[in-house]
Copies of this chain bind each other. A is one copy, B any other.
Amino acid sequence: MNGRCVITVGDLGEFGIVARIAGRLPQSGAVLLGPGDDAAVVGAPDGRVVVTTDMLLEGRHFRRDWSSPYDIGRKAAAQNLSDVIAMGADPTAIVVGLGLPSDVGTGWLDDLTDGFRDECDLVGAGVAGGDTTRCDLVVISVTALGDLGGRAPVTRSGARPGDVVAVAGRLGHAAAGLALLESGHEGLPGPDGRRRDDPRRDDPRRDGRAEPYGSDERREDGVAGLVGAHRRPRPPYPCGPQAAALGATAMLDVSDGLLQDLGHVARASGVGIALDPGAFTVTPEMERVARLLAADPLDWVLTGGEDHALAATFPAEVRLPPAWTVVGRVTGGEGVQVSGRTVGQGGWDHFRM
């Protein structure tokens, strides 16, 4: 231990970190053998396993002064679990690779771990294992696994002319929240380093488990909810396997913006997609923030990428549950059209300078 008041991950050492993380993770869900061995063992009753991986870098995908460690953990897990449900599978487990600066406090690591755990709890998945190493910046690599439960995986290539295009989950909220943060108008941390609107700020139940999905609606009302949407996406988890069971012909999670992501579906399926801009929901809060920032809220809806909504195509005769909103249809031809005009590929490309 060094002379500072805060115990850091550098004080713990690699094995101490692993033990500390493992101590906060109950064996759960499909995890048959958890952290502590060369590898974990996870149930795969279908006989196939869905697997996806994403790497998040400090400064590029999150900022430690804009998001709490708990939110960062929730978000890192969410964006991978979202990729699993977008195949029509039920998430079973994640494993996490962590690069951490030596001066990161153990409380920060605990909160991050709780974020992974609580997001996984929402879908009955477990944190099966991981790896830590010292790094000058925080690097988080999450790999998520899922089980198809006998269903065929829903890929990007099955859309057919005549199908409807539908979305589930929020669109444009995270983009509006990020725009607010970038403008300096809202949600910057207070002098204690905690966010002014952090619901866990004064919560003595540091080990409290996740609230059921959706029960935090109330405190996400209003403009602060848009910033919250950037910090902590809420993918529509039940809708992925549901869509597969309903016969979705193509599906993906909206991670780079709806236009760009539907462009992937159009290309992979060899079809065109026509969207009706009037079908999208723009909330009064998004309108307010858009006026404040002189922005067009529909831009956020069509090109914002971090809400992890689902977009899917369905045969026209499928009766869709209320969580799904029809926003367009699959056509012959190619590309994505909005109000009859073909649009470019607005969206994120992390490699462009």
Question: Does A124 count as interface, using CB distance less than 8 angstroms?
Answer: no
Docked-complex contact B37 and A41, CB < 8 angstroms: no
Question: Does A133 count as interface, using CB distance less than 8 angstroms?
Answer: yes
Residues of B within 8 A of A39 (CB): 50-52, 83-84, 86-87, 89, 144, 146, 153
Question: Does A47 count as interface, using CB distance less than 8 angstroms?
Answer: yes
Residues of B within 8 A of A9 (CB): 351
Docked-complex contact B55 and A350, CB < 8 angstroms: no
Q: How far is the CB of A18 from chain B (nearest CB, A)?
A: 10
8 Å CB interface, A155-178 against B: 155-156
Give A76-111 as 1s and 0s: 1 = Cβ < 8 Å from B's Cβ atoms.
000000011011010001011111001000000000
Given A12-B351, A33-B153, A141-B97, A42:B51 Cβ within 8 A: yes
8 Å CB interface, A1-60 against B: 9-10, 12-17, 32-33, 36-57, 60
Q: How far is the CB of A91 from chain B (nearest CB, A)?
A: 10
Question: Does A129 count as interface, using CB distance less than 8 angstroms?
Answer: yes
Q: How far is the CA of A300 from the CA of B134 in the complex (A)?
A: 24
Docked-complex contact B351 and A10, CB < 8 angstroms: yes
Docked-complex contact B53 and A353, CB < 8 angstroms: no
Q: How far is the CB of A252 from chain B (nearest CB, A)?
A: 5
Which residues from chain A sit less than 8 Å from chain B, CB to CB?
Answer: 9-10, 12-17, 32-33, 36-57, 60-61, 83-84, 86-87, 89, 93, 95-99, 102, 128-135, 139, 141, 143-146, 148, 153, 155-156, 251-253, 268, 349-353
| 24 residue pairs A–B, Cβ–Cβ below 8 Å | A12-B351, A13-B349, A37-B156, A38-B83, A38-B86, A39-B52, A39-B146, A39-B153, A40-B52, A41-B50, A41-B51, A41-B87, A42-B50, A42-B51, A44-B47, A44-B49, A51-B95, A52-B129, A53-B130, A53-B141, A55-B98, A61-B133, A132-B350, A132-B351
